[in-house]
């Protein structure tokens, strides 16, 4: 659209808790703007999957941090139309859907608490951000990874709404899961993410907070586009 050729932020950050809509909103927003989309959460999932795959104890912080320094994580545009947002590779192996397995869901918040893991992945994420023309989604993008980003969005939704979204995603992929278990997992991850000492989940002071309960993704995207269109950039 012609109007998006006007002044736009180089980096748009979208933060929020699990299943708040960050990835779905971010992907559509990036497509409309002609930007790259990066779901930074998959990088923590990649480290978690690699640790599980190597049969490491997740509470062995030293081993998990060492692994994070060694593995190669690649994130590329999707090549399959199976609902994926990106192709994710760990040491050249496509692990895109393996990153959504229950064992990864249960342990990714623990892995993301480790300081060295966060340091390693944060620097990799900043490399993406420095290239500009990017929408970055995660839990600490606006506060830690790219604190100088011109446009910061923070999405929120109730635990029940977010759990139902995650439940429906898994059911569509043929998984047999219990909604109550999903709710408990979301609550656990919220508690860990919000209370960790390193880069806790919280909105940046200059972030625009958007509630996504009961709203279509397209409506949330339209709201963000309107905010961008009317924002006065320095």
Q: The CATH number of the domain where 87 resides is what?
A: 3.40.50.300
In a domain, 195, yes or no: yes
In a domain, 231, yes or no: no
In a domain, 71, yes or no: yes
Cα four-point dihedral sign 103, 172, 42, 144:
negative
157 is written with which tokens? 């939704």
In a domain, 1, yes or no: no
Predicted confidence band at 5 (pLDDT cuts at 50, 70, 90)? Answer: low
Domain boundaries, position 105: 9-225
Q: How many CB atoms lie within 10 A of CB 114?
A: 20
| Lowest mean pLDDT across 2-6, 116-120, 149-153 | 2-6
In a domain, 232, yes or no: no
Predicted confidence band at 1 (pLDDT cuts at 50, 70, 90)? Answer: very low
Q: Could you read off the pLDDT of 86-131 as tens digits, one per residue?
A: 899 999 999 999 999 989 989 998 999 999 999 999 999 999 999 9
In a domain, 182, yes or no: yes
CB 49 within 8 A of CB 90: yes
| C-alpha–C-alpha distance, residues 34 and 232, integer Å | 21
| C-alpha–C-alpha distance, residues 62 and 67, integer Å | 9
pLDDT of residue 127: 94
In a domain, 68, yes or no: yes
Question: Average pLDDT, stretch 130-145?
Answer: 94
- Of residues 166 and 71, more confidently modeled: 71
pLDDT of residue 133: 93
DSSP 8-state code for residue 207: P
Phi, psi of 192 (to 5 degrees): -65, -45
Q: How many domains does the chain have?
A: 1
In a domain, 102, yes or no: yes
């Amino acid at each position: 659209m012609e109007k998006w050729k006007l002044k736009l932020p180089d980096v748009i950050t979208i933060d929020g808790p699990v299943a708040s809509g960050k990835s779905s909103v971010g992907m559509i927003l990036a497509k409309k703007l002609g930007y790259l989309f990066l779901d930074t959460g998959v990088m923590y999932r990649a480290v978690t999957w690699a640790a599980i795959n190597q049969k490491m104890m997740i509470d062995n912080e030293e081993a998990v941090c060492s692994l994070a320094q060694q593995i190669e994580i690649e994130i590329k545009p999707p090549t399959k139309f199976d609902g994926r947002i990106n192709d994710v590779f760990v040491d050249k192996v496509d692990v895109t859907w393996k990153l959504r397995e229950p064992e990864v869901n249960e342990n990714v918040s623990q892995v993301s608490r480790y300081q060295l893991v966060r340091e390693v992945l944060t620097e990799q994420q900043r490399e993406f951000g420095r290239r500009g023309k990017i929408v970055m989604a995660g839990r600490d993008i606006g506060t830690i990874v790219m604190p100088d980003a011109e446009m910061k969005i923070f999405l929120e939704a109730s635990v029940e709404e977010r759990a139902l979204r995650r439940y429906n995603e898994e059911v569509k992929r043929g998984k047999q899961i219990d909604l109550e278990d999903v709710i408990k997992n979301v609550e656990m991850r919220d508690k860990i993410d919000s209370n960790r000492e390193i880069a806790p989940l919280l909105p940046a002071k200059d972030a625009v907070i958007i509630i996504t309960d009961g709203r279509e993704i397209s409506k949330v995207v339209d709201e963000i586009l309107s905010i961008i269109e009317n924002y006065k950039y320095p």
